Amino acid sequence: MKPFILNLGLAALSLLIPLNSFAQFNVDGQMLIRSEFRNGYNKPISEGQDPAGFIAHRARIQAGYKLDQFNFYMSVQDVRTWGSTSQANISDSFLSLHEAWGEISLGENWKAKLGRQELNYDNFRFLGNLDWALQARSHDFALVKYEKEKMKLHFGGGFNQDGQKLNGNLYTIPNQYRSAQLIRYENVLGKVDYSLLFWNEGRQWSIKNSNGVVTDQGVRFRQTFGIPTLRTKINNTTLSGYYYSQFGEDITGKKVSAFNASGQISQLLLSQEDGRKWRATLGMEIISGTDPMGEDKNRSFSLQYGTNHLFNGYIDWFFVSNTWENSVGLKDLFVRSRYEFSPRFWIQTDAHSFSAYAETILPTESGISEKNKNLGAELDFTFGWILQDAVSIQGGYSQYFLSDTMRSLQAGNLQSKQNWAYLMIVLRPTSKAKFIGVLQ
pLDDT in tens, 199-254: 999 999 999 999 989 999 999 999 999 999 999 999 999 999 999 999 999 999 99
Name the helix (H) or strand (E) containing 7.
helix 2-16
Strand blocks (E) in 149-213: 151-159, 179-189, 192-208
Architecture field, domain 22-86+93-427: Beta Barrel (2.40)
Q: pLDDT over 90 for what percent of the chain?
A: 80
Judge if pTM exceeds 0.85.
Answer: yes
Are the C-beta atoms of 182 and 158 separated by less than 8 Å?
no
Distance of alpha carbon 58 from alpha carbon 306, whole angstroms:
20
Say how many residues make up the chain: 440
Report the half-sphere exposure of 153 (CA within 13 A, side-chain side): 4
Enumerate the domain spans of the chain: 22-86+93-427
Query: pLDDT per residue over 297-355, tens digit each?
Result: 999 999 989 999 999 999 999 999 888 988 999 999 999 999 999 999 999 999 999 99
Q: Among positive and negative, which fits the CA dihedral 313, 317, 319, 320?
A: positive
Report the half-sphere exposure of 323 (CA within 13 A, side-chain side): 15
**CA-derived radius of gyration, the chain:** 25
Distance of alpha carbon 100 from alpha carbon 116, whole angstroms:
5
Are the C-beta atoms of 315 and 398 separated by less than 8 Å?
yes
Confidence of residue 8 (pLDDT cuts 50, 70, 90): very low
Q: Phi and psi (nearest 5°) for 282?
A: -125, 130
Confidence of residue 11 (pLDDT cuts 50, 70, 90): very low
